[in-house]
Amino acid sequence: MNLNPELIRTPVPGNRRIFGRLEKIKAVKKEDFLKDQDLQDIACYRLLVAIEAALGLCYHVSAKQLKKVPEEYAECFAILSDAEMIPKDLSENLQRMARFRNLLVHMYWKLDYPAVYDLIQHHLVDLRASANDRLPPIGLLPSPSMQNPPVSFCPAYL
């Protein structure tokens, strides 16, 4: 089967709003973020939605173009990297985000909010590249994370 061009070319509805809210949170001082549980909850929800959007596009490209269905969320980005569709460092960061998504959904009581803040500070660029308002199905993405060190998003879980 072929890729759905509409899905690939059309920005995920709400991406601009999601990233806009995350950028506002990024501007908040860490100490203020860690004191504000509502802001933490908003950040986690927005991250979850952004990660889900990246995963949805990744699964579509992996299944339709590469004829591979990942067994777990993180594996999807590894498949795209192995096919040289995204850079390895971006794949590794997105794999960590996919695992972080599992933490958000299944083990939210173990969240490390300083690590959530660090993810927002250093790796929104990776989520933007993965969606880039859409995931490019052909060719390499520039590697936005080369200047950002890997973040262990929630070491207790990952």
Cβ atoms of 90 and 142 closer than 8 Å? no
Cα distances from 106 to residues 10, 48, 101, 102, 133, in angstroms, run: 30, 12, 8, 6, 27
pLDDT at 34 (0 to 100): 97
Residues in the chain with pLDDT < 50? Answer: 133-158
pLDDT at 32 (0 to 100): 97
pLDDT at 141 (0 to 100): 37
pLDDT at 10 (0 to 100): 52
pLDDT tens for residues 2-42?
Answer: 666 555 555 555 666 788 889 999 999 999 999 999 999 99
pLDDT at 11 (0 to 100): 52
pLDDT at 147 (0 to 100): 44
Which pTM was predicted?
A: 0.75
**CATH class label, 5-147:** mainly alpha
For the chain, give the longest Cα–Cα distance: 50
